[in-house]
Structure formats: structure tokens, C-alpha cells
Amino acid sequence: MGGSSRPPEVVRSNICTETTQSPNPYINSTNACTNALVSARFTEIMQDSTLTDSNIQLYQCSDEATLDSSTCTSPITLGAFTMLKNSSDATEGFTATPAIEFQNNYWYKGLIKKDAASAAGVTMVADYPWYFRASGGNCALNKVMLQPQLLTVIS
């Protein structure tokens, strides 16, 4: 398959101007939209076949003011997965749609298992958990970004 021999890592970036925030909802955010999608980008080109619900999972935790990670035991089904492609049509991340909307004031745990693999077949070094809290209800769409960015939309 080719590619780097480095293990992939999740990109950590809360900037949305040029690419998507990663992971999304962002790490330890306390104001995630209840209609948010789950997504992440990686430092390496990835194998699509490893970015599925067997390696990417979501759990609902408690609605306490402070996160108690031991309460993150209720799995949430992730529906359709969409691969985030770069300008060479190589997979650099994913977006997944939760089967339910997040509930206000609840904490959630996203988990990318270490079996997620790069195009070269190299897996992550360890599982990647992250936590976020939903609040404030649904968010309205405020812009549309096309990826890869170098394409032109013709109507």
C-alpha cells in the first residue's frame, strides 16, 4: 500500500479555518453542539477499512458538572462514516454521524482504537480517548467547506 512507517496519531487542532477541527467535538470542550458530528484527522494517510465502528466508538457518560470517566459505559451507535480526503484522494480522517443527538449537559467519550491503521498498515500506538460535554442545543450551519479545497464547484 505504500506510505510512511510511522504510527498514525490523531491531529489535535481546534482551528476550523482551513480544515476540520480534530477531534470533533474538541477535547474537553464543554459547549459541544447537540447535533455535532464525530470526526478526526490523522498525521498519516489512513486505510479506509480501519476507520469503521469497530475501531471508532462513542459513549454517553453522566450529566454531572465534572467529568467522571468511569460513567462512560452507554454505547452510542455511529451511523454513516465519510472519509476526509486530501487533494490526492487519500484518506486523512473521517466523519461519523451519531444515531442520536447529544443531550444537553451530558459528557461523552469518543474512542479511536489502536487498530486504526495507516495506508502502510501501521497501527496507532495506543487507543485514543477524548471527552466532551454537550450544551446549548443544536448549532446552525454557518459555513460550508469543500475538501479537497482545490476543487471548483460548477452549477
CB 72 within 8 A of CB 109: yes
Checking DSSP bridges between strand 78-85 and strand 74-76, what pairing results, if any?
unpaired
What's the confidence (pLDDT) of residue 141?
63
* Amino acid at site 102: F
Q: Which three cell numbers stand for residue 108?
A: 461523552
Q: What is the pLDDT along the chain (155 residues), one digit of tens a residue?
A: 456 789 999 999 888 665 678 999 999 999 999 999 999 999 999 999 999 999 999 999 999 999 999 999 999 999 889 999 988 899 999 999 999 999 999 999 999 999 999 999 999 999 999 999 999 777 776 555 555 555 555 65
**pTM of this prediction?**
0.86
What's the confidence (pLDDT) of residue 152?
55
Q: Does domain 1-155 have CATH number 3.30.470.20?
A: no
What's the confidence (pLDDT) of residue 1?
47
CA distance linking residue 8 with residue 22, whole number of Å: 14
CA distance linking residue 57 with residue 111, whole number of Å: 5
Q: Which three cell numbers stand for residue 99?
A: 444515531
CB 11 within 8 A of CB 43: yes
Beta bridge partners of 41: 93
Whether the bond between 148 and the residue before it is cis, its omega within 30 degrees of 0, is: yes
